[in-house]
Each structure stands twice: as C-alpha cells, then as structure tokens.
Structure 1
Amino acid sequence: MPYTEPQTTAGLRSADTLLMACLDVICLYVGLLLVQSTVTRATSTCGFRRTSYDKHGFVLDISSDVVELLESHTVAGLFECASSVDRSPTFQWFIYNSVDNLCISSTCWAIPMQFVAESNNVLYRKGPPSIPQSCSEVKEMNPTSADGEYWIYPSASTFLGCPTKIYCHDMASESPREYVSLTVNNSGEYPNVQDLTCRGFEKNIAGHVTNFSKIRVDVKVMEVNTTDHTFATGTGAFGVARDCYSQANRGCGPKGTFQVNTKGTGMFIDPQQMWTQFGYAPHTPSVITSESGVKIDILCGGACGGCRPEPLTLFKNFQEVTAQERAVSVTKGNCCGN
C-alpha cells in the first residue's frame, strides 16, 4: 500500500528539542507522528532562520547508479541528521535510517526514489526549495546578481537536479538567459570551394567559419538553442555541418565540418545523438563520437545541404568534477521567518 501523508497537523509541535551545533542554537520541533521536522537556527545577525523538512515516506535502498552522488554518515538520531543537513544550504532532502542511525543526503535534489509501504529508510524534503533552478531564480534570490557563472540545479531529467555551472546573461533585464561556457573551441566551417558534379574543377564560392564560446540552453530540458549567436562569431548554427561542395553519390565531398567539444563544462552530448540530413542532394552524415560524448566530429554537405541535430540535448557528466570556486553559489535565506 503506497504511503499516504497524514492530513492532520495536530500535535506537530508537541515535542521540543534544543541542540547545540557550530555555536548556533538549533531548535527542532517534531510531532509524535514525525510528519514534519522544523529546524530553527538562531544567529547573531538575523534573529531566527527556519527550515522545514516534510516527511515523504519510506523508500527502498537508493539505486547503485547514483551512489557516487550521495553523502552519508552515522548520527546519534533524527535531530542530528536534520541539523547536519541544514548546515549545508544547497541540500534539499535527507534520508534517516533509525536502525543503523545513518544519515544520507546529496547536493542533487532530483535523485529518483522508489517508495514502499515500510522500510528503515525515511525520506524528508525541504518545503520551498532554497536553490536556484534558473538564472531568473538566481536574480530572485539575490536581485544584485550580475552577469557571470553560477551554480544552477536544473530540473532536466538528464541532470538529476545536480549543481551545474551555468553562465547567467543579461541579469539586469526581466528575463535573464542561460548559457554554457565552452572551454574548448567549438567551430564549424562552410568551405569556400565547390565542385557540384565532382569533375575535378573546383571553383571559389563564399565560405565562412563560425566559432562559439558559449551556447544557450533551456535549463528545464537542457536542450541547446543552436541558432543563438550572442556568444558566437559567424552565421552557422551550433552542431550543424553544411556545404555547397558536391552532390551526394558523385564520388567527392562532403567538406562541411563542425566540431563539438564540451570538455571542462561538466556535460556531454548523448552518444546516441542523431543528425538529420537537409538541403539538396545531401551526403550521408559522418559523425564520430569520442571521449564518451565529450567530443564529436561531424562531416556533412550537399549541393547545397548538410546535417543538423534535432534536438541537441546535454547530459550531466558525473565523471567530470568542476571546482566549487569556479561559479557563485546562491541560496534562498529563509531569514527572520520569511
């Protein structure tokens, strides 16, 4: 039988416990049913800081696929578990095992949980999230935030709500935009030569090279906006290889290229990403993926034509660690009862 949250809150604060930690006074109010735990931290600068954790039910052991994303330690009890998690403002949940006195949590807020009728593991989640999931939320939490790199916690299923370095642009506007800063050159070349029927007589045409230093993303799904040129030189689209060199099956070409490289971003392209042909007499796309999707070399063309990714989705690279100081961490301070 699935867990059902009790509807009554009577007696929620019938038990008060006072803890001392990090020179702060921590007050936990926990009802007899342990439906809700409320941590209230007294500080010298701001009266009271209040954090609520709601009981969400019993869960099975978390999948081994995400075990590297978890932090766990032994505690004396539920109160110590809640207070230790509360000292890390980016943590949004914890699991307490009363049999082993084990406290489990993570900076990733969307790790999947499988609920059961009863187990030793009980999941508690914060009320309103205190971490930003977009640049608009960064601005909401800190209205003075300027353009720059921030830790964002995308809700996209490929990121599990884990901290991700995102460049927030146009923060002075009402609609900030999200970009990924590329640490390695990402560029495409539309060649300036043509031999449509592959007779060995090339002629010069207008060509161009496009370079991207940042790419715009939709943080809700982590899809790349391939036509945003805010941080690009040239007119080509990101991830699109094209030319006007030759017709397919004529024995020469293509020559249009694009190289994607997400090294250093903490992300990669799905190794199964597909490229779709377009234009007149397009060649079959040549897509070579290496370094587990971090680097992709694309060769396409036609007369005129090429290939494009539809859509181009980013995945979290859990094997690549980005230093904490390389981006600004912003959290919502539940200050003075707010």
Structure 2
Amino acid sequence: MSTSEPSPPPISRAPIHTSVLRSGSIRYRVEGPEDAPPVVLLHGPLMNGTVWDGVVDRLRDRHRCFTPTLPLGGHDVPMDADADLSIRGVALLVEEFLAERGLSDVTLVLNDWGGAQVLVSERRTERVGRVVLTSCEAFDNYPPGKAGRTLRDAARVPGGLWLLSRLSGMRAFRRAPNGWGAMSRRPIPDATMDAWFAPMRAHRLVRRDLRKYLLSVPSRETLLAWSEAMRGYADPVLIVWAAEDELMPPEHGPRLAGLFPDARLVELDDCRTLIPIDRPEALAAEIARFVGNGTVVQPLYPRDRGREDRPDRRTPSR
C-alpha cells in the first residue's frame, strides 16, 4: 500500500550562496530563521541539495536548513585540480564548510552518501551536536548496489563518464530498475534529474572530480575500521532506514544502531534509498523531533513508529 504524503504549497527557493574553501568553492542554499537550530543536509553522488527540498519545506519555519552541493558530480563549479576528493577528503570538506559558515551544535543529516561518517570515526565533530543517518552507505557497502557499481565501472574506463553523461538524458536510463529507478518508489521529476545530471554533461572538470571520488574507495578493512571507530561517539544519533531499500541493506539500519550508545532506529515503509523524495513528511517529522525543539511536523503513521533498540535520551521514547 502506498502512503500518500501531501505536498506543501510551492515556494520560491532560496538564492544560491558560495562558500569558498581551501580546495574550491561549494554552492549551498540556506532557508529558515537565523537564530533557529542549524540542520545541514547532505546528498549522494550525481545529485545536489534539491533532493532535500520536500524536507526543507517542512522544516524551514523552525530550523536553519543548509543544503550544500558536494563535489560528487552534481556540482556546477569544478574543484581545484589538486583537491582531495576521496571519501575522506569530501568528508573533510563538510567539516571545513561547517567552520567557514561558523556553525555549531549542527544536526548533520546524511542520505545515500555515507562519507561524513568519517567525521564521526575520527572525532572531527566539534561543530556537530547530533547525527541523522538515512539509508546511506555504511560498513563495506561502497559503492552501493547496481547503480553504484555502474558509476564506478564507468569511471574506470576512459570516456566512460562522458558516455554515462549522454545516457543520463534518456528516460529509460533514469528509470532503469538496476540504476536510478531502484533508488525511489516514486518517479523523480525530469526537471530535478535534468539539474542533477547537467553539470556532468556540460563540464569535463566536473567529470574529473566525480572520477576522483568514484575511484577513491579504500579497502574493505579500512571501511570496516571506520565503522568500528564510530562506537565511541556519545552524542545522539537518529537512524531512519527504508524497509524496502534495494541499495542499502535493510539490516544495516539495526546494525548501525548497535554501534552507538545513544541511538534510535526508525524503519519507514513505502520508500527506498531516497527517503527525502519518497517520504519527506515522515522524515521531516523525525528530524524535527530529534532536534529537540518540541515541534513535530506531523504525527507519524502508526506503521512507521519503527523499532527503537535504544531510547533516545534527549527525547521521550515512543
């Protein structure tokens, strides 16, 4: 059964800003009151911050929402030629972005891309107050699923990403069940995907940046060591996992919850990896509750009450 989520009224998106970092510039949008709790929402490869639009529309009245576009192929400003765009390197760009914006007590939210977990593993979380992991890469699931392996394989072949960029304009490619079609239960609007893929189609240096990232995956031993190192992270963690995910194994949600001393797990039905696309209202409600300002966007559907392996010590157990 499909869960219908009403859309909020259309709004004009906030203007794009630029954060100048040591190895290049990051574009971002920010919405919400300046004195509201900061929430930084991160996306996966070949996307941009617009994947979070439905969630931001529901949070921006009481939260300061930042949606940076990471240099993962959906960015329209290439990074410097010597930029470290490995998984760890991009995670450090996130840390630098938080510092450049002067943010503190941030709620850091990940979807699809799991690289920022490196910040937790290395205790580079001075500006982070809590973490939300939503159906993202974890443990040794890099690259995830057939879609991830398609990207990696294209990066290994000269001209492979150029060819992929041309195929990305075809609806059959976008909806393929062994590719982007597996990432959401609901079709992603063509205009959204046009914006995601346009930089890769237009800029050779964007393809260069993406290739650097895709070929940076470390050994399985390193990936699992990063995961194990997260056990000592004492601040609150919310894990929201798609019960029907085809790229991020459903068992990874409970497994991640078992790593942290203060974690709460919520498993959502009727969605896949891109929970912000499939279930924006339910996800926004969980994030709002987790931030702890007493505001719940909407009561969660009874079947989405999820499992809580550990109570969240900052909010009452449900």
Q: Which has the higher strand share?
A: 1
Q: Which has the higher helix share?
A: 2
* TM-score, L = length of structure 2: 0.24
From the CA coordinates, give the structure whose radius of gyration is larger: 1
Higher relative contact order (CA 8 A, sep 6+): 2
